Chain A
Amino acid sequence: MTIAARNLSIGYRDRLVGSGLWVLLREGESLALLGPNGGGKTTLLKTMLGLLPPRGGEVTLNGKPLDAFSVRERARLIGYVPQVHTGTFAFTVETVVLMGRTAYGSLFARPGKNDVAIAHATLERLGISHLADRAYTEISGGERQLVLLARALAQEPRYVVLDEPTASLDFGNQGKVMREIERLAGAGLGVLFTTHDPNHALRAAHRACLLRAGTIVAEGKTSHVLTRDNLEALYDAAVVPVEDPARIAFLPG
């Protein structure tokens, strides 16, 4: 089972951002999307989620065109974790996570016992049960990121798509989110995330996809794709590899 972009063109009404994109996300596999600012990462993500219409080509979900699924059906298959935001209204964390159950209730339904149980299990799994009654607007940025992840997991999806999940997090929380991504893929979900840090991709992603100026410049197994040459070309900047026998990391030069 897969989400696939087939010869996809992405962009907005008045601006084409990228074209000729082929991306494949399988269940049980994590895929990192890297590239410089403005290269089209977020646009590609939103097009693959069906939040932006393709400008050409198509996105398929489990072999069928994304259009063939209703918004509700999509929400049961794909969970979306947006870039962290402060929120307008002070919903409790529990209410925010319960919103992840929207696609399972009828139009007028209120969340039932089962939904509450799933929301609490998700909070438990991410180790943030103690936040359940706190206001979403009053917790830290790292906690908010975990709450948004909990909301996506409450959708009980087959795929999770995360937009820069580590961007606004402190060092410790970055590790925590990366660990969660590894666990999700280990649990059989397909995980697609964007990141600015190649080291996060090296750690948590099976495969990596490098996107520059709307074109995929390299794609494949993380250890093959994330090389010094590829990264220097991708970001147009010097990169210093730091190696020991077990692993490799990259520093901006």
Chain B
Amino acid sequence: MKRSAFSGLIVALALLAAGFAFAFLVGRFPVLLGDVFAVLWSKVSGAPSGVSSATETVILQVRGPRVLAAFFVGAALSVAGAAFQGLFRNPLVSPDILGASSGAALGAVLGIYFSLGVVAIQGFAFLGGLVAVTMVYGIGSSLRIRDPILVLVLAGVVIGALLGSGVGLIKYLADPYNQLPAITFWLLGSLAATSAADLVSLISLIAAGTFVLLLLRHRMNVMSLPEEEARALGIATGPMRIAIVAAATLVTSASVAAAGIIGWVGLVVPHIARSLTGPDFAKLLPVSALLGGSFLLFIDTIARTAAQIEIPLGVLTAFIGTPFFIWLLASMQKNWS
């Protein structure tokens, strides 16, 4: 079956526009699409927007940062998921299943526990993610069992559980009045506390990691072949694997440090993107990023408006991701496409 990359991109861009509109307009405070354009245009041109200052505050201070954060976190998790799935030749892996998310979470929780700054928390999250993925992959490749995919997924589950109990220990030790509620709420996934200061580090780290992956897109195609073939085709697979894992873990840990653990996005979105574009990373990566960004814009808007209190993002994505994973397992006998 031939797929048109162009139509995939159009679908992704249309969904993204809808996602941005939905995220800006829906909420307790009414905002019109025209207001959003007027405010953004006045930011660019410097001319007064003619919109009430309350509306302007909602657009720029309240919803704006959150919309940007949702887009970048969704894009990051999806790009990382696509990269991990290709690299491990395994459509069932994702940043959360490989332990990158729980490793990053443990690192970030440690940072919060020691009351460190934003940059240090990001650094801890990145280190935690790298250590976790390395452990999972090390276990997966050192055990010579017939089904390496199964070993990898199980190793991820086991290491994830170990890291989860590390997080549990820190929660147990944390100050129950200040730190504990913050850690708990953040771990379930939330963009409610995203500030403009967080945005700078979040966006720059995610942009850097995604840029590296985009540069390597054609190498990543070859890296999704069995390792010996990739080497016979001229790739030094060791350094290349490290580069891809580091970049994918960087974007994952940046989003975990900013928004907590938002599972399933990195598993579900690359599959949908692949069904639109095919597996060629040159097309798959951009479409994954756009689809993931729009997906999280919708999810986050639902999270903050559907109920009286905010619903944690990780809870919402799990409601979508779990049935999807089961459907995926059920269709495993067929070809991955």
Contacts and interface: CB of A to CB of B under 8 A. Distances in A.
A11 to B, nearest CB: 15
Given A72-B234, A92-B2, A46 B280 contact: no
B218 A111 contact: yes
Contacts, number: 96
B337 A90 contact: yes
Contact of A105 (B2, B218, B226, B231): B218
Contacts of A90: 278-279, 335-337
Contacts of A46: 228
Interface stretch (B85-93, B116-124, B309-317): B85-93
Contacts of B215: 107-108
A75 B90 contact: no
Contacts of A151: 233
Q: Which of B89, B232, B280 has most A Cβ within 10 Å? A: B232
B228 A91 contact: no
Contact of B221 (A79, A91, A135): A91
A251 to B, nearest CB: 34
A91 B232 contact: no
Given A90-B335, A135-B1, A103 B233 contact: yes
A68 interface: no
Contacts of B232: 49, 51, 74-75, 78-80, 82
B1 A102 contact: no
A71 B1 contact: no
Interface in A93-140: 95, 99-100, 102-103, 105, 107-111, 133-135, 137-138
Contacts of B274: 89
A135 B91 contact: no
Interface in A185-226: none
A75 B282 contact: no
Interface string A40-57: 000000100111000000
Contacts of A138: 1, 335
Nearest to A161: B232
B233 A89 contact: no
B235 A102 contact: yes
A144 interface: no
Given A133-B2, A135-B1, A85 B218 contact: no
A87 B336 CA distance: 9
A82 B234 contact: no
Contacts of A87: 225
A135 B225 CA distance: 15
B236 interface: yes
A103 B218 CA distance: 12
Contact of A102 (B234, B278, B280, B335): B234
B175 interface: no
A89 to B, nearest CB: 4
A102 B219 contact: yes
Contacts of B234: 71-72, 74-76, 102-103, 155
A52 B233 CA distance: 15
B231 to A, nearest CB: 6
Contacts of A107: 215-216, 219
Contacts of B236: 70-72
B228 A82 contact: yes
Contacts of B278: 90-92, 135
14 contacts: A46-B228, A70-B236, A74-B234, A80-B233, A88-B89, A89-B86, A90-B337, A91-B280, A99-B221, A102-B219, A107-B215, A109-B218, A155-B233, A155-B234
Interface of B: 1-2, 86, 89-91, 215-219, 221-222, 224-226, 228-229, 231-236, 274, 278-280, 282, 335-337
Interface of A: 46, 49-51, 70-72, 74-76, 78-80, 82, 85-92, 95, 99-100, 102-103, 105, 107-111, 133-135, 137-138, 151, 155
